[in-house]
Amino acid sequence: MRKEEVKNISATPLNAPVFPATDMYFKDREFLNIVYETDMEMLKEIVPEPLTVTSNLIKFEVINMPDSTGLGSYMEAGHVIPVEYNGEAGEFYLSMYVNNQAAIASGREVAAFPKKAGTPNLYVDNDVLVGTLDYNSLRVAQATMGYKYYRMDDEEAKSIITTPQFMLKQMRHYDGSLLMSELTRSQITDVKVKKAYRGPARLQLFEHVMAPLADFPVKKVVDAQHIIVDMRLGQPSQMYNYLNDNN
């Protein structure tokens, strides 16, 4: 392989890159969002400055992506925290547990999504929508929501899906020193809402050292949303550089 060709490879291995160089478009992307009250002090301890936590209403989400360009069919689940940066409201993505290696690698290397391996699931059980997350052999989260109880306004659903996403991107040199440490911002675009519902819901979280979702205890479930859309991931951009003292 010629030197000039190497730079055109999306990732390693050279003869079978872990993810393709393609525009990530998602059809029928399905969200189960459980919004609940938790401990405000726990949120403040984990969210990095200069982001500011704006509420104790955290979101546990399970997402089914059955038709993703270049990535196939997979699922993910994790925690999202309401924050603000320079007057703009958004969500800090704390954790994402994913059952697709290409999505984990591309999400971490190209963007800044905090992805690691896990086994989420989202399915309809008779009259209930069920979202679960297992870490290896153990259950760490289980959510249930009444199926298609109340119709949700499409514009409200779109505004939820397109909330700005703030993430921490951290990369290190071979010697362990920091190569990159920055906050990024991205935003979902080209959203077409297909279905949107609310319903009663419950959420259980189980203690686990490597998937510590239960660090944010469920005090009260205040909202549950089931939203299906077509959409495109937005291009991430740097907001704040921790290695630059002149921020």
pLDDT tens-digit readout, 206-243: 999 999 999 999 999 999 999 999 999 988 999 999 99
In this structure, is the dihedral angle defined by the CA atoms of residues 87, 227, 183 and 70, taken in order, positive or negative? negative
Cα 43 from Cα 79, distance rounded (Å): 11
Which helix (DSSP H) or strand (DSSP E) does residue 106 occupy?
Answer: helix 101-109
Cα 30 from Cα 196, distance rounded (Å): 10
Percent of the chain with pLDDT over 70: 99
Cα 240 from Cα 130, distance rounded (Å): 37
| pLDDT reading at 4 higher than 90 | no
Q: Report, as residue numbers or ranges, the catalytic residues.
A: 115
| pLDDT reading at 148 higher than 90 | yes
Cα 13 from Cα 111, distance rounded (Å): 19
C-alpha distances out from residue 136 to 18, 114, 230, Å: 22, 18, 30
With cut-offs at 50, 70 and 90, classify the pLDDT of residue 177: very high
Degrees to nearest 5, angle at CA 47 with 43 and 48 = 155
Rounded to two decimals, what is the model's pTM? 0.95
C-alpha distances out from residue 42 to 39, 55, 57, 58, 234, Å: 5, 12, 12, 11, 29
| pLDDT reading at 128 higher than 90 | yes
